[in-house]
Amino acid sequence: MSLVVSYIPLVVLALLAMGFAPLAWWMSRLLRPNKPTAWKQMTYECGSEPIGEANVQFRFQYYSFGIIFLIFDLVATFLLIWAVAFGALSNTGILWGMVFLLLLMVGVAYALKREETIWI
């Protein structure tokens, strides 16, 4: 019973955190003035008036570069945690970490082989 009671503040905080964004959005919609004009509805880009179409196609390499960056960022976080706990890991934990590193190296080799993915 005391375990359930000790989690009550955590549940309350989680509910408050999840409810904050919708409440802030609703309050901003409720309290803001709504006077749309053509000038206010115009696209704003660095202080200059937009010229031409707003739909511009980007090369896929930009997206793949971003995804590769995100993956390696997460991998760096995982490796930091793994390195801190390395002394306390069992042989199975060390083996799975090595398998992960092997898969990471295969991914890096594949990305480097496909030059258009890395070099924009």
Q: What is the pLDDT along the chain (120 residues), one digit of tens a residue?
A: 677 788 899 999 999 999 999 999 999 999 988 888 887 777 766 666 667 676 777 777 777 778 778 878 888 888 888 888 888 889 998 898 889 889 888 877 877 777 654 454
Is residue 95 within 8 A of residue 102, CB to CB? The reply is no
Give me the CATH number covering residue 50: 1.20.58
Q: Quote the domain boundaries for residue 110.
A: 2-118
* CA–CA gap between residue 107 and residue 17 (Å, rounded): 37
pLDDT at 75: 84
The total number of structural domains that make up the chain: 1
Contact 97, 89 (CB under 8 A): yes
Beta bridge partners of 119: none
Separation of alpha carbons 112 and 105, rounded Å: 10
Cβ-proximal residues to 66 (8 Å cutoff; 6+ apart), any chain: none
Which pLDDT score, from 0 to 100, does residue 41 have?
75
Count Cβ atoms below 10 Å from residue 51 Cβ, excluding itself: 6
